[in-house]
Amino acid sequence: MKRAVLGIDTSYYTTSVACFGDSGVLYDGRTVLPVQKGERGLRQSEGVFLHTRQLPPLVEGAFETVDPKSILAVSCSRAPVDRGDSYMPVFLTGMGVARALAASLQVPLVPLDHQSGHIRAALIGNEALSDKPFYAVHISGGTTDLLSVERPAPGRFSIEPLGCSEDLHAGQLVDRVGVLLGCGFPAGKQLEALARQARDRDVKIPSSVRSLSCSLSGAESAARRALDRGAAEAEVAFAIYDLLSRTLTKLLENAARQVGERPVLLCGGVASSLLLRELLKNRCDLPLFFGESRFSSDNAVGIAALGVDREVGL
């Protein structure tokens, strides 16, 4: 019988359930929260309702794939980041189900945070980073964070925030410009496909970086102005990814000068963009490590893997 930890993550964007064990990913179920066309997100109350509706089928799918008797622990994201004041109502949905499952299965409950789950998911295939300090760049709809990460013990990260976006996050910028260009929400995949159609790449959006922090709100306005001047939609879409690559490169160069050179792990939904990865590789001189694209967007795989690391040690 394969032993496993069941992980649950109920983020702002996706309902996720996963099982991770001694042979890796045993189950990975996800359902994106539906957003009406033209809208740029959901209210927290809407997210809680949707998670409540979407979680049961995913748990049932997990137990159809993995024998419940093999579950050694249930891990779950309880908050966005590992900080006492970190809170978001959508995570209560997952924690409630996780507590009930752990009690019924009579196994430990492992409360974790969403950001650590992203980092752990990106480390799958990049385990060489685990025993040394590294920078993590967490880029998503809710974060544009530059982090110093160490791993003092299995299943535990020591995360020190170094810098962040002072206004819009990378994912918000992608979604807002994407919706402006007629993409659905979340807009990443459609905006990237549009960006790859750009014949000319002359549209340049200024990058705003101060030390280890950045600003992205001006980029949305600059994209609107470019469209008003008659720029092609594909060129504006490409300009967004070009801007993000220049901004992240500047942040990492500043970190290397101020803190020291380290390898870099990129995680979060925006980091799943193959176009962004290509642009960063061409610009940034620091060693770059990317998680598998399927593990970069919101998922419970990292949460389940952290539960294995911390509680089971398979």
- Please state whether the predicted TM-score (pTM) of the whole model is above 0.85: yes
The per-residue pLDDT for 130 is 76
Mean pLDDT of 65-75: 96
Mean pLDDT of 41-50: 89
CATH superfamily of 4-125+295-312: ATPase, nucleotide binding domain (3.30.420.40)
> What are the b/e assignments for 182-210, b being 16+ CB within 10 Å?
ebbbbbbebbbebbeebeeeebebebbbe
Per residue in 160-182, pLDDT (tens digit) is 999 999 999 999 999 999 999 99
- Which of 29-43, 200-214, 254-268 shows the lowest mean pLDDT across its residues? 29-43
Mean residue pLDDT of the chain comes to 94
Mean pLDDT of 136-160: 92
Please check the confidence at residue 81 and state whether its pLDDT lies above 70. yes
Mean pLDDT of 50-65: 97
Please check the confidence at residue 211 and state whether its pLDDT lies above 90. yes
Mean pLDDT of 48-61: 96
Rounded Cα distance between 270 and 266, Å, is 9
Residue 138 · residue 117 · CB < 8 Å: no
The per-residue pLDDT for 192 is 97
Mean pLDDT of 149-167: 92
Rounded Cα distance between 150 and 179, Å, is 37
Mean pLDDT of 147-164: 92
Extents of the domains making up the chain = 4-125+295-312, 163-290
Do strands 156-164 and 208-210 pair parallel, antiparallel, or not at all (unpaired)?
A: unpaired
User: Matching CATH topology for 4-125+295-312 and 163-290?
Assistant: yes
The per-residue pLDDT for 313 is 57
The per-residue pLDDT for 13 is 85
Specify the residue for token string 């170094």.
Answer: 162
Per residue in 261-313, pLDDT (tens digit) is 999 999 999 999 999 999 999 999 999 999 999 999 899 999 999 999 987 65
Rounded Cα distance between 21 and 4, Å, is 4
- Residue 155's identity, in one-letter code, is G
Token pair recorded at residue 265: 């792990």
> With pLDDT > 70 as the criterion, what percentage of the chain qualifies?
97
List Cβ neighbours of 146 (8 Å cut-off, separation of 6 or more): 135, 136, 137, 161, 162, 163, 164, 212, 251, 252, 255
Class of domain 163-290: alpha beta
Do strands 71-79 and 24-32 pair parallel, antiparallel, or not at all (unpaired)?
A: unpaired
The per-residue pLDDT for 312 is 65
